[in-house]
Structure 1
């Protein structure tokens, strides 16, 4: 084997180990090249960059086409020209690319081969979230957490999903056992109070429809503002609350102004948006 663990020169001694045994553990990319081949030389830095970026997720095996082993394997694989790249997975050639290839083209083949089962489920979770299927995403996420029970990033994602589906008690219980410095946990903790305010409220689309029918529906506007805070649409939320303050201070016993103060607290004292709307609120009050 070569001293570089992710790049090897294919030889009579290691051919079975590399193409059969190694490819059962991770994909092997066989680069068939020749010294006289200019496109082969152009392909080399692209391959080297991929090896570095994938950090051991695949093995690059280099085969000199002019050597006896090269001639033998080319005949077995039906390769007639160089450069040719052959992808091995689970001991079998699964893809052959002839000619100089771009990095994008190589990634399109490598990505499905190098992704772990856990990573594959994570991608499915992301897709379900994008489609609004939060309950299904939670079920898949629980599968991943069985494999990675101490993955705080996944647990924070689980907290956010639990909040989205209204399972506030479950979200609180999970937040209670997560460390205070877990990346991303501050945001759901800050938003928990807002989720509690709208646990039984209509969704954003329904509230927007109500306002379209009656722009003086302060209750719909108030609940919409809370939904907007949860969705990180803070400026729209503050505009809606400011409008309520401007038109009806008695609504919810000055509830719109008090909610604005809670939004300011979540944004932080130094936040430019918080400063701007504090000024607008002050001007309106005085």
Structure 2
């Protein structure tokens, strides 16, 4: 449903799950995907950014990648933005990385890999 742009329907399905399933990792991941999809520019709007390389354009591209389930590319882009402009939008890249980690779950291979990269970047 999320991939089809039907986030409200997906949210409704999640809200009707039993409480123990509603808070499980898969449901958290779907809920995060809904939020990322709502925050990200549409595919057409991303295309309209063209070759812009400013922080806003980079952030929006990364957010769209995450919303589309291209987590590896999105996480890499968020790390690159942190290296280039850590303060952008009140540390939005770092905060988004943490949201993706939470959505994927602590044991997900991408979470483990990119948490390590984030730690190396910060320290």
When normalised by structure 2's length, the TM-score is 0.78
RMSD: 2.5
1:217 & 1:202 partners in 2: Cα distance? 18
Alignment counterpart, residue 202 of structure 1, candidates 42, 45, 48? 42
Deviant stretches of 4+, over 6 Å: none
1:213 paired with 2:39, answer: no
**Which residue number corresponds to residue 172 of structure 1?**
11
2:105 & 2:7 partners in 1: Cα distance? 24
Q: Following TM superposition, by how much is the alpha carbon of 1:178 offset from its aligned partner in structure 2, in angstroms?
A: 3.5
2:61 & 2:120 partners in 1: Cα distance? 24
Structure having the larger proportion of residues in helix: 2
1:179 & 1:248 partners in 2: Cα distance? 42
Question: Which has more radius of gyration?
Answer: 1
Q: Following TM superposition, by how much is the alpha carbon of 1:224 offset from its aligned partner in structure 2, in angstroms?
A: 1.8
Contact 1:238/1:277 (<8 A) preserved? yes
Q: Which has the higher relative contact order, 1 or 2, with Cα contacts under 8 A spaced 6 or more apart? A: 2
Structure having the larger proportion of residues in strand: 1
Gap regions ≥5 residues in structure 2: none
Alignment counterpart, residue 255 of structure 1, candidates 88, 92, 102? 92
1:175 & 1:270 partners in 2: Cα distance? 22
Gap regions ≥5 residues in structure 1: 1-159
Q: Following TM superposition, by how much is the alpha carbon of 1:202 offset from its aligned partner in structure 2, in angstroms?
A: 2.9
Relative to structure 1, the CA distance from residue 245 to residue 222 in structure 2 (aligned partners, 3 Å threshold; closer, same or farther) is same
